[in-house]
Amino acid sequence: MVRLIFLFVILGAGLFVGTQFSGQQGYVLISIANTTLEMSVTTLVIFVIAALAALFLLEYLVKKVVYASSSTWNYFSVRKMRRSRRYTNEGIIKLLEGDWKGAEKKVTRWANHHDMPLLCYLVASEAAQGQGDKAKRDQYLELASQQENAHLAVELTRAKQFIRDNEFESAFDTLQALKGQYANNSIVLNLLKTTYMQLKLWQPLIDLMPQLTKAKLVTEEEQSELIQKAQCGLLHEVAQQQGSEGLISHWNSLPRKVKQDAHLITCFAHELISRKADSEAFTVIKEALKKHSTPELYQLLPDLNLPDSHPVIVFLETVLKRESDNAAAHSALAHLFFRQEKWPEAQQHFEVALKVRSNVSDYAFLADTLEKQNLTKAAHEVSRKALTLVQSN
């Protein structure tokens, strides 16, 4: 449009000048080497205008040809891309359906024409993983890693595949590298949690908990359970490496709030017993039970290997004077009497404990206690109750 306006302006100017100088056309001489051109000014103006018009026309024709070629090229490119997208979508569906081979074939067929080949290669890697072909899996991941902005997606896929194959050491290496770059990525944090638990890396798991909580990846209940499990695992690890003295030193270094957890106290006492520090374990259990009545701690008392079990019996009898319906205390005392072969006393406390709550183990020991006293009929009745309880569970 601008060019047409320009031509009309020049033509108008030419007509105006022509009418003003009609009969006075003037004279133009152009000399190039041995060649000369002679013409009037009017002829020169017409020639220039015609030349400009010819150039504009040529430009128009060239653009038309180029546009037609580009449109044809784009048509075929878009057609290939659409087909690639369709195959990729079908491949993803097949992957979700568990048709690994079909998924791999679909997504790789036109991957070169897809506008995001990264997606094709990641899906193909998952399909190869499903077929158990690790060589192909890694080959597709390598192709995926060559795409733009592929690092995070590729490494997360790789870590997930390692975890599914129980290759937790490899997953750990991959995720540790990602943690430095993507410390707040929720998938990285979740995979780290799983990996730490499987590798029993308790201290890193404890250190990870604030991030998991901040990202709302665990509930308060899950957080409490994970911390308990990690702290118990750490106690076991310290006990194995440093023995009872190192274990006690580690326990004393823990925050007061942690040491007030009944479950952790039970773990601590259990580790002390395992390391033959039974006297220290009894002190820990006794002090803890004075503050909180924890059934799990009462269950550890009969397992104590002390030179004299009398202090334990005295402690339990003192507890029962205050809490006559404490089933855990009755059960612990019954077990101690059972080991001392004091059958009537053991029977009495087993029966009281079972009146308060049902317990398969106590029923079994009560049956044995009755057998020891030749109360066969009563022993069979108790055994039937125990069997009924087991079947109901």
Same domain, 320 and 291: no
Same domain, 323 and 383: yes
Confidence of residue 314 (pLDDT cuts 50, 70, 90): very high
Same domain, 314 and 380: yes
Indicate if the pLDDT at residue 171 is higher than 70: yes
Same domain, 273 and 345: no
Indicate if the pLDDT at residue 135 is higher than 90: yes
Reported as a single tens digit per residue, the pLDDT across 217-266 is 999 899 999 999 999 999 999 999 999 999 999 999 998 888 889 899 99
Indicate if the pLDDT at residue 317 is higher than 70: yes
Same domain, 319 and 385: yes
Indicate if the pLDDT at residue 25 is higher than 80: no
In a domain, 348, yes or no: yes
Same domain, 375 and 318: yes
Quote the pLDDT of residue 360: 87
- Distance between first and last Cα of the chain: 89
In a domain, 31, yes or no: no
Angle at 255 between CA 252 and CA 261, to 5 degrees: 90
In a domain, 43, yes or no: no
127 class by beta-carbon count within 10 Å (0-12 exposed, 13-18 middle, 19+ buried): buried
- Rounded to an integer, what distance in angstroms lies between the CA atom of residue 286 and that of residue 22? 128
Same domain, 92 and 106: yes
- State the DSSP code for 28: E
Report how far apart, in Å, the C-alpha atoms of 15 and of each of 11, 49, 54 are. 6, 12, 20
Which distant-in-sequence residues (6+ apart) come within 8 Å of 12 by Cβ? none
Q: Is 1 helix (H, G, I), strand (E, B) or coil?
A: coil
Q: Is 306 helix (H, G, I), strand (E, B) or coil?
A: coil
Residue 64 or 387, more confident: 387
Contact at 8 Å (CB) between 127 and 95? yes
Domain that holds residue 326: 309-393
Contact at 8 Å (CB) between 122 and 151? no
Indicate if the pLDDT at residue 5 is higher than 80: no
271 class by beta-carbon count within 10 Å (0-12 exposed, 13-18 middle, 19+ buried): buried
Same domain, 122 and 173: no
Beta bridge partners of 38: 29
Same domain, 302 and 315: no
Please count the structural domains in the chain. Answer: 4
Quote the pLDDT of residue 116: 85
Average pLDDT over residues 113-137: 90
Report yes or no on whether pTM surpasses 0.85: no
Residue 40 or 206, more confident: 206
Same domain, 315 and 295: no
Same domain, 99 and 133: yes
DSSP H helical ranges for the chain: 2-20, 41-97, 100-109, 117-130, 134-145, 151-164, 168-181, 186-199, 202-214, 220-253, 256-259, 262-274, 278-291, 295-300, 310-322, 327-339, 343-356, 360-372, 376-392
Quote the pLDDT of residue 76: 43
Reported as a single tens digit per residue, the pLDDT across 334-359 is 999 999 999 999 999 999 999 999 88
Q: What is the CATH number of the domain that holds 381?
A: 1.25.40.10
Angle at 284 between CA 301 and CA 250, to 5 degrees: 130
In a domain, 119, yes or no: yes
Q: What is the mean pLDDT of the chain?
A: 86
- State the DSSP code for 382: H
Same domain, 246 and 314: no
In a domain, 124, yes or no: yes
Q: Which of 287, 307, 327 finishes a domain?
A: 307
